[in-house]
């Protein structure tokens, strides 16, 4: 039962490898580009059967080397930097790569579970898997949006095997250190507090109060559980939002992060107001460079995911961030 995980040394990919390991599955081919060599650390505590460079893997697919050898592909490999405006690179790495794996999986009649993105919605206020609500603001979002349109057309024509595209919202959790500035808010809040004893958030703008801009923050633990649920149900195909289903302000993330750290320090929890009074939580002017380009609110409509049969509750910010801080401190 050879399973391929692309982007295996990345954030979500490495968590999926670990999730498969927890099920006793170790016959895993890890596919990635390790030009950024420090990503290897994400796989040190994981068991895999082989590592293959992305380009070698694609060449192997085209030559027929992997025909009949793979039972499923969990495709997480992509450039997720929303500030990268190199359209050719983004389309080659995200869209064309995904199309190649899609055609291979359809020809082999094996499942393809892949990462789409909430970036397909752009500045919309309704986050439902329907064409009228979609309008990506950057080439990253467009690269994901374009494959979703292909999938919709091909589903109407008839698929030969499962294809499930998950529109990830704001994912946070273990194994994201290598993402640096693209890492989650929780990761940055943790490091700010540990280094400076305070956390800084954006001040109010566009009708939102200080730190009140809200996102759907989803723990990578839940992302892994949903992927494995679909792996267990090859009859399920489509495009699915993968978020918590609730929107919470950045203030909640900061407060949860600080209080989780304080718990480890033997200190009592503080309210947001108390943190502000003590100088632990500060607000900085909203950057001019982000005005008009910033999602101040996201909230996944997970009705379609629930209708597919996934019933497990999603972690709240307080639950998920607290567990994440425990993990971060265990690594130090």
The answer to whether residue 140 is catalytic is yes
Radius of gyration of the chain (CA): 20
27-52 b/e with 16+ CB inside 10 Å = b? ebbbbbbeeeeebeebbeebebeebb
Q: How far is residue 242's CA from residue 86's CA, in Å, rounded to a whole number?
A: 27
Identified catalytic residue from 95, 140, 142, 193 = 140
Q: Is 179 a catalytic residue?
A: yes
Residue ranges of alpha helices (H) inside the chain are 11-22, 54-63, 87-90, 97-108, 139-157, 185-196, 220-232, 250-265, 272-277, 303-307, 317-331
How far apart CA 17 and CA 50 sit, in angstroms, is 12
The answer to whether 176 touches 259, Cβ cutoff 8 Å, is: no
DSSP string for residues in 153-197: HHHHH--SS-EEEEEE-EEE-SS-GGGGGGS-HHHHHHHHHHHHS
179, 198, 225, 304: the catalytic one is 179
Residues 6+ apart with CB under 8 A from 61: 100, 101, 104
Closest CA to 219 of 314, 92, 147, 283: 314
49 beta partners = none
Query: CA of 301: how far to CAs of 17, 131, 304, in Å?
Result: 27, 14, 8
109, 161 contact by CB (below 8 A): yes
Among 296, 298, 320, 315, residue whose Cα is nearest residue 187:
320
Nearest residue to 193 (alpha-carbon basis) of 82, 270, 306: 270
Catalytic center residues: 140, 179
């Amino acid at each position: 039962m050879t399973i391929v995980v692309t982007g295996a040394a990345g954030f979500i990919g490495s968590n999926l490898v670990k999730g498969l390991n927890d099920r006793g599955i170790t016959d895993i081919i890890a596919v990635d580009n390790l030009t950024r060599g420090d990503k290897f650390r994400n796989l040190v505590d994981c068991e895999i059967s082989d590592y293959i460079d992305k380009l070698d893997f694609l060449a192997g697919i085209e030559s027929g080397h992997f025909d009949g050898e793979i039972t499923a592909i969990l495709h997480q490999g992509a450039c997720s930097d929303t500030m990268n405006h190199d359209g050719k690179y983004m389309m080659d790495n995200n869209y064309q790569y995904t199309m190649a794996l899609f055609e291979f999986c359809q020809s082999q009649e094996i499942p393809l579970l892949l990462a789409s993105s909430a970036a397909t919605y752009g500045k919309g206020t309704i986050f439902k898997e329907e064409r009228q609500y979609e309008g990506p603001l950057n080439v990253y979002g467009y690269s994901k949006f374009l494959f979703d349109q292909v999938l919709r057309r091909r589903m109407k024509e008839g698929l030969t095997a499962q294809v499930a595209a998950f529109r990830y919202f704001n994912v946070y959790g273990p194994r994201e250190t290598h993402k640096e500035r693209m890492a989650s808010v929780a990761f940055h809040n943790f490091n700010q507090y540990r280094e400076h004893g305070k956390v800084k958030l954006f001040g109010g703008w566009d009708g939102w109060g200080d730190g009140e801009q809200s996102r759907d923050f989803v723990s990578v633990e839940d992302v892994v559980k949903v992927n494995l649920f679909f792996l267990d149900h090859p009859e399920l195909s489509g495009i699915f939002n993968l978020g918590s289903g609730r929107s919470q302000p950045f203030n909640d993330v900061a407060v949860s992060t600080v209080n989780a750290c304080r718990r480890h320090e033997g200190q009592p929890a503080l309210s947001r107001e108390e943190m502000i009074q003590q100088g632990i939580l500060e607000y900085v002017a909203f950057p001019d460079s982000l005005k008009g380009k910033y999602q101040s609110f996201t909230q996944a409509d997970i009705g379609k995911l629930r209708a597919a049969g996934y019933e497990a509750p999603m972690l709240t910010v307080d639950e998920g961030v607290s567990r994440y801080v425990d993990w971060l401190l265990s690594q130090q």
